[in-house]
Amino acid sequence: AIKGVIKQYKTAPQSALISRLNPIIRGWSNYYSAVVSKETFIKLDNAIWQMLRAWTVSRCEKASHEKLRNYFRHETIKLSNGKERHENWLFQTKDGLHLFKHNWTPIVRHTLIRPDATPYDGNWTYWASRKGRAIDTPNRVAKLLKKQKGRCTWCGQFFTPSDLIEVDHIVPRSHGGKDEYKNLQLLHRHCHDDKTALDEEMMLYS
């Protein structure tokens, strides 16, 4: 897919190519972050670098160091974990738009279930917190599970492994609530239905 995009954007501005590639690279990296090694990410980045070098050569005919530096730059990047990395040949525009690299994504290993734990042992705190660490749990759901300590804020009960959990806007969007973290909470689906009904009723009398 990446090779096809680079070929398709052969005459496009560098910024357009970067904007098209970044979602692909980020999505692939996040999806496979639990099943591939850092070495695999590095190999992919090297392969893409070769493709982009060829893309650059096709535009400036000769790959002189000076011409390559119009597309590749020295840059210090701050990663999502707070660490910094110095990149010597980062594919980046003059105004700072740069290509995301696979090896910037941390490897996340699947957390094994405790040998003595079962979904029927009543330890909902453990299971709710585990759900927050599951690799397929959206980031904001995981953060809310941790913030709420595994409990539904409507009924106060712990979430169980079989529960259907939904994200709710504390102040509904229809009432001017914003789609931001501080206005979000996790509720059981049936609790969410009850809250929505109450919100609609209050809106009728407001």
CA 195, CA 81: separation in Å to the nearest integer? Answer: 36
Q: Is the pLDDT of residue 110 over 70?
A: no
Residue 6 burial (CB count, 10 A): 19
pLDDT of residue 120: 46
Q: For the chain, what's the residue count? A: 206
CA 128, CA 57: separation in Å to the nearest integer? Answer: 53
pLDDT tens track for 1-10 = 799 999 999 9
Instruction: Give 179's DSSP letter.
Output: S
Mean pLDDT on 98-107: 90
pLDDT tens track for 29-73 = 887 887 778 899 999 999 999 999 999 988 876 666 777 888 999
pLDDT of residue 15: 93
- Give Cα separations from 85 to 20, 22, 30, 45, 79 (angstroms): 23, 18, 19, 15, 7
pLDDT of residue 7: 92
DSSP string, 43-103: HHHHHHHHHHHHHHHHHHSS--HHHHTTTEEEEEEE-TTS-EEEEEEEEB-TTS-B---GG
Here the tokens at position 45 are 């980045």
pLDDT of residue 128: 55
φ, ψ (nearest 5 deg) of residue 173: -60, -35
Domains present along the chain, CATH in parentheses: 2-104 (no CATH), 124-205 (1.10.30)
Express as a percent the part of the chain with pLDDT over 90.
Answer: 30
pLDDT of residue 114: 65
